Amino acid sequence: MYPLKFKPILKERLWGGTKLNEVFGKPCTSEITGESWELSTVKGDVSVIANGYLADTTLQELIEKFPNEILGKSVVQRFGTEFPILIKFIDAKQDLSIQLHPNDQLAKERHDSFGKTEMWYIMDADPGAELIVGFNRDVSRVEYEESLKNDSLLELLNYEKVVEGDTFFINTGKIHAIGAGVLLAEIQQTSDVTYRVFDFNRRDKDGNLRELHTDLALDAIDYERKNDFKVDYSKESNSVNTMVECPYFKTNYLNLTESMVQDTLNRDSFTIFMCVDGEAAIENEFGKVNLRRGETTLVPGITEKITINTNGAKLLEVTI
């Protein structure tokens, strides 16, 4: 039950680039690698353990065998043996499509899936890089449909310039897109359900337009302008700084200049660490792993104490 590392699941994307390899050292073989799935139990894309005696076992196999020990009893009570979190690093060389995600109810009815609430932590951004998050004013459904017909949707959207450290919470229904030149860490519910509504009329390598989900999106969109997406959080050194706390995950920011010990006896949840800068060694009573920028570990829920040894690291800590 030592801290687990996993083989990255690399995804070619029309909008992807080369930073996942150049910056993080991911074993990419394509010049359009857009995503590295670090922790996943999405069907067809289940993470495989890379370290220790459990190497080559899948995360799902381990959870099925040791649910309480890996997830924590309270997590099992809520989700059974389904791992509720999907962890990614994303490199957007080009703009992503304009999209949104359905809530739990719609996702369950239509796709037998969780909804997709997510958050982004900006790890790097080219000068002037932007995100699209929400509308720039309240919009009616009729107005939105008209904008699709006359190709003016972009005029209704809210643009946010970003720099390293900026953090955004994207609740279900919020229209959004990652802009060109952004490298980020993404934490989300376990779901691969996306409604794409506009893709800049781009064509794939075979000359085809990508599928849009216009009709599915109509009753999933939140048409109100809401200023609820930019996360204001403390960056105090050597403290646990809460970033996001929602029903699906809790994320803390650890800006460490020295080692830290955490008592996790009563946490009753697995703990994920994403290293977004520097290096650290993550240790529990069963073993340890070394993390550098762009790497992730899962510490099993049975852990009673976590020691983070570092001279300098910025970590995102995710629990349920």
Q: Is 101 labeled as ligand-binding?
A: yes
Report the pLDDT averaged over residues 304-308. Answer: 98
Report the pLDDT averaged over residues 115-130. Answer: 97
Task: Find the catalytic residue in 196, 203, 267, 293.
Answer: 196
Q: Is 176 labeled as ligand-binding?
A: yes
pLDDT at residue 308, rounded to an integer: 98
How many Å apart are CA 116 and CA 139, to the nearest integer?
22
What is the helix (H) or strand (E) element at residue 110, kind and residue range?
Answer: helix 104-111
How many Å apart are CA 27 and CA 227, to the nearest integer?
38
pLDDT at residue 206, rounded to an integer: 85
How many Å apart are CA 176 and CA 154, to the nearest integer?
11
pLDDT at residue 190, rounded to an integer: 95
Do residues 164 and 121 touch, judged by C-beta distance below 8 A? no
Span 85-117, pLDDT tens digits? 999 999 999 999 999 999 999 999 999 999 999
Give the pair of three-digit tokens for residue 16: 């992807």
pLDDT exceeds 90 at position 163: yes
Give the pair of three-digit tokens for residue 265: 């006896």
Neighbouring residues of 55: CB distance < 8 A, sequence distance ≥ 6: 49
User: At 153, phi and psi to the nearest 5?
Assistant: -55, -40
How many Å apart are CA 303 and CA 267, to the nearest integer?
9
pLDDT exceeds 90 at position 77: yes
User: pTM above 0.85?
Assistant: yes
Do residues 104 and 80 touch, judged by C-beta distance below 8 A? no
Report the pLDDT averaged over residues 120-126. Answer: 98
Active site residue 196: yes
With cut-offs at 50, 70 and 90, classify the pLDDT of residue 40.
very high
> Judging by DSSP bridges, how do beta strands 176-178 and 157-161 pair with one another?
unpaired
pLDDT at residue 205, rounded to an integer: 80
pLDDT at residue 201, rounded to an integer: 87
- Report the mean per-residue pLDDT for the chain: 97
Q: Which amino acid is present at 128?
A: G
How many Å apart are CA 281 and CA 294, to the nearest integer?
14
Report the pLDDT averaged over residues 139-165. Answer: 97
Neighbouring residues of 289: CB distance < 8 A, sequence distance ≥ 6: 2, 3, 4, 5, 51, 281, 282, 297
Structure-model confidence comparison of residues 204 and 215, the more confident one:
215
What is the helix (H) or strand (E) element at residue 124, kind and residue range?
Answer: strand 118-125
Give the pair of three-digit tokens for residue 300: 């099993």
Span 248-269, pLDDT tens digits? 999 999 999 999 999 999 999 9
Long-range contacts of 135-143 (CB under 8 A, 24+ apart): 135/175, 135/223, 135/224, 135/225, 136/225, 137/225, 138/223, 138/224, 138/225, 139/223, 139/225, 140/223, 141/218, 141/221, 141/223
Span 3-37, pLDDT tens digits? 999 999 999 999 999 999 999 999 999 999 999 99
pLDDT exceeds 90 at position 223: yes
pLDDT at residue 283, rounded to an integer: 98
Q: Is 111 labeled as ligand-binding?
A: no
With cut-offs at 50, 70 and 90, classify the pLDDT of residue 203.
confident
Structural domains of the chain, with CATH: 9-218 (2.60.120.10), 241-319 (2.60.120.10)
